[in-house]
Structure 1
């Protein structure tokens, strides 16, 4: 295929499915990042206020960096998955509106209305 015959609108990377896949991946990364930010804030506050003596225990150990990494990794997985789950579960919220017209009624063909 030469560059002269190449139509960017017919490219597989610009197909409707590829655009939808990119938007889904963007949605997932965005919501996981929100959860990751929440995990960083929560973990920093736990360490700052020394809740349960976690910071004291970590600093008295020679493996403090590993302990801190595992703490934040666990928080990131937990908060990220919660944020992603909430984002996914709220996707269908618009259908609870009584004024919502189902997509099938808008896209009906004229022969379907008999």
Structure 2
């Protein structure tokens, strides 16, 4: 990252912050799904020898989805509109 211009560093930090918010939301949703045992996912994962893999896949899918959505919302919210038009 040493070769990046200052505005590029700011933009990557901006995107990273939004990605972190999306991953945090995914972790929270995964925790809620397992805590409330929706669709008996916690019961299924706890009784299987490789149940952690299913939980990891749920988290990864949600993290990709929510992280991408948060970054997209961040990018789209950066638009500036002229009041003259």
Say yes or no: TM over 0.5: yes
Number of residues paired by the alignment? 84
Q: Distance in 2 between matches of 1:84 and 1:55?
A: 30
Mind listing any 5+ residue stretches in structure 2 that lack a counterpart?
none
Q: Indicate the structure (1 or 2) with the bigger Cα radius of gyration.
A: 1
Within-5 A mapping of 1:1-114:
18-92=5-79, 94-95=80-81, 98=83
TM-score by length of 1: 0.67
Across the aligned residues of Structure 1 and Structure 2, the Cα RMSD in angstroms comes to: 1.9
Mind listing any 5+ residue stretches in structure 1 that lack a counterpart?
1-11, 101-114
Greater relative contact order structure (CA < 8 Å, 6+ sep): 2
Q: Distance in 1 between matches of 2:32 and 2:84?
A: 44
